[in-house]
């Protein structure tokens, strides 16, 4: 017999659906069971008070960040549950285009993809500030377009902030969003959404003009009210200069340990991919572990040793 949910649980789920439906026009299905004591998806980490954007911003005082900020990407509820207690920020990055959807770049990523994954990550976390990337084409047209897209993302996901790419060109938009209740994380240096302009993913800041632009972009974002700035793929001296030039925390990826925090794509640092950019440290070999485990499973299925008695139901005697 397949175990069935209790009547009470069904009634509770139905009640939740009734309550949630008017807030979210399209309720999303979840494979998690609802924990009726906490109303959170199971299994849950120990509840903690969620960090806030002002507290993240305040970690850099008078140009000094005593304890660097820890950020990782997260795209799913379960991944968020596993990362949450260790991180200050979870970034629902548009890198999900390549990592989850197998797309060639972040260009085809849509607002709906970001909204769906952002909502899952918020459901799976208690502690970290969740930041959702604004995808290419959803904010560059005008500050009003940016507000419409960013407010949609915050409403759909429950995230606390958005991230967008670009410096001086985006400063007016950042100011517009921030003054209307939407905290913004900036992103300078190698900005993957601009791959067609940049011509690839090489490190930035090697020429004087590139270096000056990275620093002035970050300063413009700082003045516009960004609460933190990602510095990606920038030669170390320029990453350090940029970090010193701004009052808000910088978060490095392929930048410098002197940044005010660090971010990596979680799948990269866990070793889900054999080939990773030079700046990634592979902390483990999850791809190898999956390969070995699945080979064992396949062998056991083929030899009929799985399922064994332990994993099969027998009639009650």
Q: Which residues are catalytic?
A: 232
Q: Which is nearest to 259 in space by CA: 57, 64, 54?
A: 64
Identify the bridge partners of residue 71 per DSSP, sorted by sequence position: 89, 263
SS3 84: helix
Q: Is 193 in the site for ligand KIV (CB under 6 A)?
A: no
Closest approach, Cβ 222 to ligand KIV, in A, equals 18
First CA to last CA distance, the chain:
14
Instruction: Determine the distance from the C-alpha atom of residue 218 to the mean position of all C-alpha atoms in its chain, rounded to a whole number.
Output: 21
Enter the DSSP assignment of 26: S
Closest approach, Cβ 202 to ligand KIV, in A, equals 15
| Contact string 81-110 vs ligand KIV (x = CB under 6 A) | ----------x-xxx---------------
Is the bond into 256 cis (omega within 30 degrees of 0)? Answer: no
Q: How many residues bind ligand KIV (CB under 6 A)?
A: 11
Count other Cβ atoms within 10 Å, centred on residue 269. Answer: 18
Q: Is 128 in the site for ligand KIV (CB under 6 A)?
A: no
Pick from 84, 133, 175, 260 the residue near ligand KIV by CB under 6 A: 133
Closest approach, Cβ 263 to ligand KIV, in A, equals 5
User: How are beta strands 228-232 and 184-189 bridged, if at all?
Assistant: parallel
| Contact string 210-249 vs ligand KIV (x = CB under 6 A) | --------------------x-x-----------------
Q: Is 263 in the site for ligand KIV (CB under 6 A)?
A: yes
CB of 119 or CB of 131, closer to ligand KIV: 131
CB of 40 or CB of 260, closer to ligand KIV: 260
- Give phi and psi for 89, each to the nearest 5: -135, 140
CB of 222 or CB of 268, closer to ligand KIV: 268
CB of 80 or CB of 230, closer to ligand KIV: 230
Residues 48-87 within binding reach of ligand KIV (CB under 6 A): 73
Helix axis angle for 168-178 and 143-157, nearest 10°, is 50
CB of 169 or CB of 298, closer to ligand KIV: 169
The residue nearest ligand KIV at its CB is: 93
Write out the DSSP string of 128-155: SEEEEEPPTTSSSS-HHHHHHHHHHHHH
Q: Tokens 């949450």: give the residue.
A: 84
Tell me how long the chain is: 317
Residues that bind ligand KIV (CB under 6 A): 73, 91, 93-95, 133, 230, 232, 253, 263, 265
């Amino acid at each position: 017999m397949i175990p069935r949910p209790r009547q009470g649980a069904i009634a509770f789920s139905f009640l939740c659906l009734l309550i949630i439906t008017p807030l979210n026009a399209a309720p999303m299905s979840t494979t998690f069971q609802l924990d009726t004591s906490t109303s959170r998806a199971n299994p849950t980490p120990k509840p903690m008070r969620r960090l806030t954007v002002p507290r993240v911003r305040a970690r850099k005082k008078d140009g000094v960040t005593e304890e660097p900020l820890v950020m990782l990407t997260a795209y799913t509820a379960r991944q968020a549950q596993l990362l949450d207690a260790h991180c200050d920020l979870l970034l629902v990055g548009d890198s999900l285009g390549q990592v989850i959807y197998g797309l060639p770049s972040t260009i085809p990523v849509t607002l709906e993809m970001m909204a769906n994954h952002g909502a899952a990550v918020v459901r799976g976390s208690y502690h970290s500030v969740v930041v959702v990337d604004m995808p290419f084409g959803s904010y560059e047209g005008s500050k009003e377009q940016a507000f419409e897209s960013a407010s949609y993302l915050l409403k759909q996901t429950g995230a606390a902030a958005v991230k967008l790419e670009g410096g001086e060109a985006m400063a007016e938009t950042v100011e517009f969003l921030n003054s209307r209740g939407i905290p913004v994380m900036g992103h300078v240096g190698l900005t993957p959404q601009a791959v067609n302009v940049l011509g690839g993913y090489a490190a930035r800041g090697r020429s004087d003009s590139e270096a000056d632009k990275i620093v002035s972009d970050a300063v413009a974002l700082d003045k516009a009210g960004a609460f933190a700035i990602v510095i990606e793929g920038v030669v170390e001296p320029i990453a350090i200069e940029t970090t010193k030039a701004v009052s808000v925390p910088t978060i490095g990826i392929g930048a410098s340990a002197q940044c005010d925090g660090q971010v990596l794509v979680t799948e990269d640092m866990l070793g889900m991919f054999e080939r990773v950019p030079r700046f990634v440290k592979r902390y483990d070999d999850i791809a190898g572990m999956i390969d070995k485990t699945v080979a064992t499973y396949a062998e056991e299925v083929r030899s009929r040793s799985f399922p064994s008695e332990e994993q099969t139901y027998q009639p009650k005697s």
